[in-house]
Structure 1
């Protein structure tokens, strides 16, 4: 196979993907093919993989395209204050960077801890926390559904499942956002989350309870407290922000697309369809770092060197014209998207189910409690966060008829 000449790399930072990522991915694919040379903050080189088949190849071959970040050839040039360190990981003993048999044992431990979450209790937590959040805004007749609802619901439910005190939720939201956005406060956010999870593990080690953390600590596979802390950081980050953006992006779609108008008056099938369409067309997790080539190889006509980092372009692959020949919106339960990853490092199925219950329950509560909800601004004015990793709204201002609150705080 001949190697395609490498054009000038694209800077994958700033507002590049903020306004119209679909257009950007089309142009990148047109100009560079399925594997795009990019530069991260500080002119750090990497490859962005946009091809569906190429992404399937990477995620299906964990030996050639490893999750072991120690393989990266650029570490000597990475400063200690690089803002993307929380997203890349260096010698972190978390499940994200564990490979082989040990990774499979670790994934089994996490899956078992999450599978034991009672579905009815999960939904009850999500519904009651959602009601409490709506209680705070329903008398006002106007709200920002991102700041006032979507950004608060997932972390409150996860905190209850994991054993975190409810009052620690707001600071954790701020820390998670700072860490994931990969900007100047990323390392501070990571530090806060680490401190919080370390305290939680120590508390549950001393006094176990019926929660996810206690079940992780009770596992007999021999994982230390530091490993558990790192895994909790991953689970909290992966469980909160993408779920918050899933809620926000789905509500945006339902409020701006006439196909989903019926759901605003009590329909339920449209909620599931809107949520699934978001996973195809507007997925919260746009790009993921990463995989590292364990030896020289070729991918999509590119010469990939040992130690190169490859970024998983999940949204780019979802919209690959070679598999989306009609470019239609894929609703109706088609789950062949990459929004939860693929292969042995994909998001565990119980975690996917928890995220879906939180998101769907939250949307149902919004539509039940605020039945005449409407956008307070034009759809064109809605803005996204300037992140190449996660795609979510900065705000979703709405208006509705004021109604009285249902009750007091959820205890």
Structure 2
């Protein structure tokens, strides 16, 4: 499947000029782009809205089972790519057919039992603790000191991890999700933490997600629960952190949202939705594997080929984003939470939205005269084709004593 004009997925323009890059990819390759992963391993990047809708809507033809991958033997053990692509053993996003539906239902039920008032209370408490630590200085990096710390702390509390485990979980999750040098070490740390929590909750159940998973009588084993918990923790943490950071950046740099910075909240939801369309945290997701030979977007796809979900590319597809339809407004038909049978399980997106919105509103409430401390054009994004997030968001504000 390798083509001479395949695009390396580590092209820095995924970080620096994504809008320009996606336009060029469509012009030169169409809606299904040949790309090269780590070590030159070939794959397809789907950047067409309609093509991505077809891929995510047909779980039989475009399977979530990584065991089908015709290139897996070329990925050497220990490569940082493996935690990004996914383990050979299925988790709730990758389990096939009925088993996936069962595991998604069990996990969704455990999440659905989360008290929404408790969720917001936890998010407010951790947000206030983080702001307390920085509000007296008059300046801060809202990425390093706030956004990348908050979601994991809230999720850890909901799942049943002790609060003191939060900082270590943040580090391991960030390392694993980046898919770079420390990815495997981060995965190992998270594995140990999850296994220990399962062991403790087997002995002493509590009112948390893990206890509800263990108490379910559907027949899931501890290994399946552990894999699902790891996957959902990773999927819930960093994208939500990047959603917070990118939404705050938009509100600090775009005059349309100035009112929200000075006493109002009306534009917070609008800014958050615009980020999901224009700067979605989950830029590229792996993936789907062709169950048989087929055609997609004018390309011949072989059985076992890996298709990467170009969520940001599809969100920017000019065939569905032109004229009046280019305005996001209240339109939630983006791909930022996926689509089809393997989309983010309900109510995970709602939980992420509560955490992100609470985090943003806490900043606006506690630091009302906040402003960007550097020129907007100097802000940079992490060098990752998978998740799009700011490396830093330096701000200034009037120092305030912690209450």
TM exceeding 0.5: yes
Name 1:37's counterpart in structure 2. 34
Name 1:384's counterpart in structure 2. 381
Shift of 1:89: 1.8
Shift of 1:14: 5.1
Q: Output the CA distance in 1 between the equivalents of 2:265 and 2:326.
A: 19
Contact 1:7-1:32 within 8 A present in 2 as well: no
Alignment of 1:258 onto 2:252: no
In the TM superposition, what are the counterparts of 1:4-403 in structure 2 within 5 Å?
A: 8-13=5-10, 15-326=12-323, 330-403=327-400
**3-state SS, counterpart of residue 308 of structure 2:** strand
Shift of 1:8: 1.1
Contact 2:245-2:390 within 8 A present in 1 as well: yes
Cα deviation code 1:383-405 (max 9, x no counterpart): 10000000000100000000110
Q: Output the CA distance in 2 between the equivalents of 1:324 and 1:332.
A: 12
Shift of 1:87: 1.1
Q: Output the CA distance in 2 between the equivalents of 1:104 and 1:341.
A: 16
Shift of 1:15: 2.1
TM-score (ref. length: structure 2): 0.98
Gaps of 5+ in 2: none
TM-score (ref. length: structure 1): 0.96
Q: Output the CA distance in 1 between the equivalents of 2:204 and 2:140.
A: 40
Cα deviation code 1:338-391 (max 9, x no counterpart): 000000100012111100000000100000000000000000000100000000
Q: Tell me how large the CA RMSD over aligned residues is.
A: 1.2
Q: Output the CA distance in 2 between the equivalents of 1:327 and 1:163.
A: 45
Contact 2:65-2:90 within 8 A present in 1 as well: no
Aligned residues: 402
